[in-house]
Structure 1
Amino acid sequence: MATASSALFSTVVNCPSHAVKTRSLRSSRLKPTSHLLHFRCLQRRSSRVGASVSVSDPRVDTGRPDDLVASILSKVLHSDGGVSLEEEEHKQVAEVAQELQKYCVSQPVKSPLIFGEWDVVYCSNPTSPGGGYRSALGRVFFRTKEMIQALEGPDTVRNKVSFSALGFIDGEVLLKGKLKALDDRWIQVIFEPPKLKVAEMEFQYGGESEVKLQITYIDETIRLGKGSRGSLFVFRRRQ
C-alpha cells in the first residue's frame, strides 16, 4: 500500500532546483497570438493582395500551446482521474501530451512554475494516484473527493488524497517527500511513510518509498510528467 500510495502523484512531482526561488512564478514562455487578432490580420492582408487563407490551412499559427492545453484539459477533466476514459481516449490524451512536449521550457526542473498547489486530474494508469484506494475494489468502498499535490520551496512535496468511505466517513491519505534534481528534466522523490486520517484518528503505516519522473511540460496552467514506468500524469494548478 505504501508503494502504491506514494506513486500517487509522485510521478509528476517536478523538482525545484536548489537554485530556484519561490518568489517568481512568471513563465518564460511567450504567450501565443490569439485566434481572433491573428485571423483578422490575415484577412486584412489577404484583402490587400487578393489572396485568401482558410482557417484549416496548416500554415496558420493558431496559438498552438494554448490550444493543446485546452484540448488536453477538455479530455481529462471530469474523468475521475482517467478512470472513465476508454482506450482510444487515453490514446488521444497521450498524443496531445506528446505534442505539448515540443513547447516545454528548457530545464523545467528549475522553473519556478513548479511551486504551488496542483490538482491531479489524470493518470494513464488511473489506479496509480491513491494506490489501493483507487483500485477497482477500493473504489467500491472509497469515493475520491480530491487528489492534491503541493510543491513548496526549496525541496518539499505534500500529496493528499481525500475520500469518503462507505459514503459517510471522511478521510485522507497524506504523503510528504523530498525532491532531488537528477538532471534538467528528471527528478527523484523520497517519501516518508504515509499517514492515514479517518475522522478523529490518525496513524502512520508502511515504510519509505521512492519514485523518479520526467517533467515533460509546464506552464501557468498545467504540468505534465512521465514516470519511470511510462505513466503519464496531468496536473492542473489550483485557483
Structure 2
Amino acid sequence: MASSPSFSVVSFSSVNTEPYVIRLSSRQNLVPINPRRKGLGNFQLRGRNTSLINASVSFPAQEISSSSSQRRPDELAASIFSKVMQTDRGVTLTREQHLQVAELAGELNKYCVDSPVKSPLIFGDWDVVYCSNPTSPGGGFRSGLGRLIFKTNEMIQVVEAPDIVRNKVSFSALGFLDGEVSLKGKLIVLDEKWIKVVFEPPELKIGSLGFQFGGESEVQLEITYIDDKLRLGKGSRGSLFVFQRRN
C-alpha cells in the first residue's frame, strides 16, 4: 500500500419471591409439606378438625436498577464530542483520555444499525474530529515534525452516492502559505460493516501551484456506528476515527 496521505472513512428488572402458603388448623402440630426446604416454607397443621384456614403471604417485588453506565446513544455521542473537540483531532489527549474515548465508542457500537454500509446516512460531508493514531489521517503532514511545519485547518471527508469518496486536508505552511492535499477514491463494499476505498494519486496545492504525486493507495474501514450527526469507524490496523457531520 502506498504511503500517501489518506484517511478512512434504564431498564428495571424485578425479583419476585415465591409466595408462601400457610395452612392453619386447631392443633399446634406443624408438619412441613416439603421438609427439604429451609426456613419459612409450606406448612400444614394436622388435627381432628377437617376445616382448614388457608393464608398466603406474598413478599413485594424488589426492583433492581441497571448500571448507571448504561446511557442513551445521544448521551454517549455528546460525551465523545466533549472529549475530542479542541484536541487537534486527538493529538493533545493523554493515553488515559484516549482509553476513555475508546470505552465510550465501545458502548455506542452496541446501538449501531444493521448493515451500516447500506444506510443513506453515510453520504454527506464529514469533519474528521478525532483519530487514535495522529498520523493515520493526513500521513506525514500529521507526524510530529509535519505538525511543526504544517498547521491543519480542516480535515474533511465527502461521501457521494453511489460510491465516491473525497478527502481533503487544508493547512497553512510556516504560518503564512496556504495549501491542501486532496484525494479522490472509489468506495467498495466488502460486507455489512466493512468498506474499502481505493484512492487515486493525491493532489497537492500550495498557493497557485498544484500537482499530483505518489501512487494509488487504499484503506479499509469498519463502520461501527452512524447517525445523523456522528460516524465512528475503525481502520484495519485498529485506529479509531470519529467523524462529525458538517452543517
In the alignment, is the contact (CA less than 8 A) between 1:2 and 1:193 conserved in 2? no
1:213 Cα deviation after fit = 1.2
* Structure-2 separation of matches of 1:148 and 1:205: 20
1:39-66 Cα shifts (integer Å, max 9, x gaps) = xxxxxxxxxxxxxx9xxx5467986101
Among the aligned pairs, what percent are the same residue?
68
Q: Give the deviation of 1:233 after TM superposition.
A: 0.2
Q: More helix per residue: 1 or 2?
A: 1
2:197, 2:122 → 1: CA distance?
A: 14
| Pairing partner for 1:105 from 103, 113, 121 | 113
Task: Determine if the alignment matches structure 1 residue 114 to structure 2 residue 122.
Answer: yes
Give 3-state SS (helix, strand or coil) of 2:144's partner.
Answer: coil
Paired residue for 1:90?
Answer: 98
Structure 2 distance, partners of 1:187, 1:226, is 11
Q: How does 1:64-213 map to 2 (within 5 A)?
A: 64-213=72-221
Higher strand share: 2
Paired letter, 1:224: L
Aligned to 1:222: 230
**Contact 1:2–1:205 (CA<8 Å) still a contact in 2?**
no
Q: TM-score, normalised by structure 1?
A: 0.78
Q: Does 1:233 align with 2:241?
A: yes
Count of residue pairs the alignment pairs up: 195
Answer yes or no: is the 8 Å Cα contact 1:2–1:194 preserved in 2. Answer: no
CA contact (8 A) 2:4 2:214 kept: no
User: CA offset at residue 127 of structure 1?
Assistant: 1.8
Change (3 A) 1:61 1:87: closer
Would the alpha carbon gap of residues 183 and 90 (structure 1) be closer, same or farther in structure 2, given more than 3 Å must change? same
Aligned position for 2:37: none
Gaps of 5+ in 1: 14-52
Q: Deviations 1:51-99 (Å, cap 9, x if unpaired)?
A: xx9xxx5467986101000000000011101000000000000000000
Q: Calculate the TM-score normalised by the size of structure 2.
A: 0.75
C-alpha RMSD over aligned residues: 2.1
- Relative to 1, partners in 2 of residues 1:229 and 1:63: Cα closer, same or farther, differing over 3 Å? closer
For 1:235 and 1:217, locate their aligned partners in 2 and report how far apart those are by CA, in whole Å. 10
User: In structure 2, what is the equivalent of residue 16 of structure 1?
Assistant: none
Q: Which has the higher contact order (CA 8 A, sep 6+)?
A: 1
**DSSP-derived class of the 2:198 partner:** strand
Task: Return the offset for 1:4.
Answer: 4.4
User: What's the counterpart of residue 3 of structure 1?
Assistant: 3
| Bigger radius of gyration among the two | 2
Gaps of at least 5 residues in structure 2 are 10-62
Give the CA deviation at 1:3.
2.2
SS of 1:235's partner is: strand
In 2, the alpha carbon distance for the partners of 1:202 and 1:112 equals: 33
For 1:2 and 1:61, the matched residues in 2 are separated by 42
Q: Distance in 1 between matches of 2:153 and 2:127?
A: 11
| AA matched with 2:190 | L
